[in-house]
Amino acid sequence: MPDQDVVIDVKGLTKIFGERRVVDQVDLTVRRGEIFGFLGPNGSGKTTTIRMLCGLLTADEGSGTCLGHDIRRESAAIKREVGYMTQRFSYYEDLSIRENLEFVARIYGMQNIRATVDKALDDLGLTSRAQQLAGTLSGGWKQRLALAASLLHEPRLLLLDEPTAGVDPKARRDFWEEIHHLSARGITVLVSTHYMDEAERCHRLAYIAYGKLLADGSPAELVQRSGLHTWALSGDKALDLVADLRKLPDASQVVPFGKVVHVSGRDKAALELELGTIARQYHLELSLTEPKLEHVFIQLMQDSEDNFMAAQSAGSAP
């Protein structure tokens, strides 16, 4: 008997465009009420995966369900129960906020359109701007309109494709407060993002690069499983040594944070030995610190780039 709390359960999800496997054998499980973060570099396959999950694209390989519906055979049923907020603003800029929402409500064939739109305006704090043309809105207000439109038909699953790109920090914070309210109501949210502070707000995360799912788990689990150890170097000369620190054999990442330089690597003892020598030489303070989620994903990106280059070289070999 299927687990009623599992909202997305797919295995071997694959999409091929020409000769390129844009999404390659992705397995994904997302549970009810979960905020699931989807991370990865541009062109990694995040948007294509989201579109396969919501029925906009058909997978070339793989199987599974979304909201209990088969992703390959029941895409129409999935679309009725999913709210999808696209990466780019996709509503009519020459219509008002209210007119856009009324248009969306008619597309879904909803009853009591005026009451439904009034509630959506109130829920997202849009009532005072209901008559404002969408084209005159700032990025943050366009974001609220897009979210309101995505929620009109009361979906059980919300798919958000980089929803906060280009909006100010306060608008991003307000948006995420709303996402957590939706999660508390049992709505499942899958969100792609490039922002590490947003990733840390998610219950679980997945990292995809060049079509392959490289890691998934809670933020704490991903940091723990990364195998990274991070040292902090501070002092008057620390920032002057960044270029030299990047040449150390056991330093995989060297990142300035204000006046402190974080150096990360997988061999804790070897890295401590190398950094200790430099710290004594330049009278710097050396201390062990917790790796950040940013360190983990930069490491995954570096590793995947190496794998991609290797695959390219192998493919071009005679």
Cβ–Cβ under 8 Å, residues 78 and 54: yes
Task: Tell me what pLDDT residue 309 has.
Answer: 47
pLDDT at 262: 95
Q: Considering only the C-alpha atoms of the chain, give the largest distance between any 2 of them, rounded to a whole number of Å.
A: 75
Nearest residue to 12 (alpha-carbon basis) of 60, 63, 72, 70? 63
Tokens 């974001």 belong to 143
Write out pLDDT tens, residues 275-308.
Answer: 999 999 999 999 999 998 888 988 888 776 544 4
> Cα dihedral angle (150, 152, 155, 161), rounded to 10 degrees?
0
* Contact yes or no for 51/57 (Cβ under 8 A): yes
- Residue 145, class by beta-carbon neighbours within 10 Å (0-12 exposed, 13-18 middle, 19+ buried)? buried
CA distance linking residue 158 with residue 156, whole number of Å:
7
Strand-strand pairing, 20-31 and 6-17? antiparallel
* pLDDT-based confidence at residue 165 (cuts at 50, 70, 90): confident
227-315 is classed CATH 3.30.70.100: yes
Looking at per-residue confidence, does 147 or 313 come out higher?
A: 147
Give the pLDDT band (50/70/90) at residue 19.
confident
pLDDT at 317 over 60: no
Q: Name the band, by pLDDT with cuts 50, 70 and 90, for residue 1.
A: very low
pLDDT tens column, 99-109: 999 999 999 89
Where are the chain's structural domains?
6-222, 227-315
pLDDT tens, position by position, 252-274: 999 998 899 999 999 999 999 99
DSSP helix/strand/coil, 225: helix
**Residue 306 confidence (pLDDT):** 47
Beta strands in 67-187, from DSSP E residues, in sequence order: 69-70, 82-85, 157-161
CATH 3.40.50.300 fits 6-222, yes or no: yes
pLDDT digits (tens, 9 = 90+) for 190-231: 999 888 888 999 999 999 988 899 999 999 999 999 999 999
Distance between CA atoms of 74 and 68, rounded to whole angstroms? Answer: 10
